[in-house]
Structure formats: C-alpha cells, structure tokens
Amino acid sequence: MQVRPISPDRLTELLAERVAALPGAGTRRLRVAVDGPDAARPGELADALVEPLRLRGLPALRVPASGFLRPASVRLAYGRRDADAFHDLWLDDGALLREVLDPLEPGGTGRVLPSLRDPATDRSTRAPYVQLPPGGVLLLDGPMLLGRWLPLELSVHLSLSPAALERRTPPEERWTLPAFARYEEETTPAEAADLTVRMDDPRHPALVEHP
C-alpha cells in the first residue's frame, strides 16, 4: 500500500477522470458514493465533483444521505445518543434504494427523489422528483454508506485517523465516535471502497493506492 499526497483540486480531477472511465460512462446512469463522516466533508467533495463531471459531458446530481434518515421515532427509539442505533438504524436503506438507486439501474426510469425527510423537523421535504438523463451521474454522500449492499458503480471512502476524527468532531457529536469505530472494525471501509482518501487534514488529502 502506498499513500500519495494530492492537492484537493487534483483529487477532484482524478475522481472525475475515474468516473468518466467507468464502463458505460456517457451512455448509462452511474451511481457514485462518497463515504465518510461529516468531519471528512464528503458533501464538499461531492459538490466539487459536479462541475468537472459536467465538463466531461456527464451531468451530475448530488444527493446527501442525510435526506434519507428514518423517522425520529425509529432513530431515537434507544435515546438521542445511542451509538449503535446511529450505526444500525438511522439510514433508511430501503428508501434510498427505492427512490434513488434502483431507478438508475439499466432500463430504469432515471426519476430520482433528491430528499425524503428533513432530519431537523422530521417531516417530508416535499422535494420534487428530478430526472437524471442517460449518461448522468448520481453523487451520494454521507457516513457509513458501505457494507449495505447498495448498488454502486464507484465508491470513495474518506478516511480519518481516530485522533483526527475526534479532534474534528464537535463536542456535541462525539457520542457518534463509537459508531465510527464499529464501522471501521466491522465494515473495513478502506478495503470495501474502490478508492480511499486520507483526510486527516482536508487541505492536504492523500490518496491510498493498493498494489
């Protein structure tokens, strides 16, 4: 394994090139996950990919996984700070499949719901459906997306050391740290992902290259 420093701009270009080189790019709809805790800023990387993909003729739609959390009655059934519930119950995999990922299968409608529920109000966002054209790219971002059997053409994991994760997680959210430790142990996302990027310092990412 080699770890190669890379600038943020070059990282987005490299990832866009990797997406553009996927089988069927430009003709079929592709599903790309940017996996990582909020401290690794997966949403920022997903946003940064939109324009480089557009310039390559690949219209992109970013869908944050935070718009597909289960109702509070399920998420908080074991309390507001239960790390195991955060790991196991918060993400509504079924809704993600039904409303986002399955419609992008070959022969699918391409009709995507960009968000289902506002996690702050626990109400429907009433977001309208969006039509992703053939050749379009879905960018799904959020924590703990791997190991869930989600159908993806490419997965990118943003990795943080335990010390960096703790340092960059706000005090009021540090109850989630055991969930990320469990994710690392049970899912080993750096091995499950197609690409891994170390983000201990987002200004100086490093690409992890496996032989």
Q: What is the pTM of this model?
A: 0.96
38-61 per-position pLDDT tens digit? 999 999 999 999 999 999 999 999
Q: How far apart are CA 30 and CA 52, in angstroms?
A: 15
Asked if the model's pLDDT at residue 85 lies above 90, the reply is yes
Query: In 66-96, which positions are buried (b, 16+ CB within 10 angstroms) versus exposed (e)?
Result: bbbbbeeeebbeeeeebbebbbebbbbeebb
Give the model's pLDDT for residue 211: 62
* H-helix segments, 21-92: 42-55, 72-75, 83-88
For the stretch 180-204, pLDDT in tens is 999 999 999 999 999 999 999 989 9
Mean pLDDT of the chain: 96
Distances (CA, A) of 143 to 79, 126, 189: 20, 23, 11
Distance (Å, whole) CA 60 – CA 2: 30
Contact 152, 35 (CB under 8 A): no
pLDDT for 26: 94
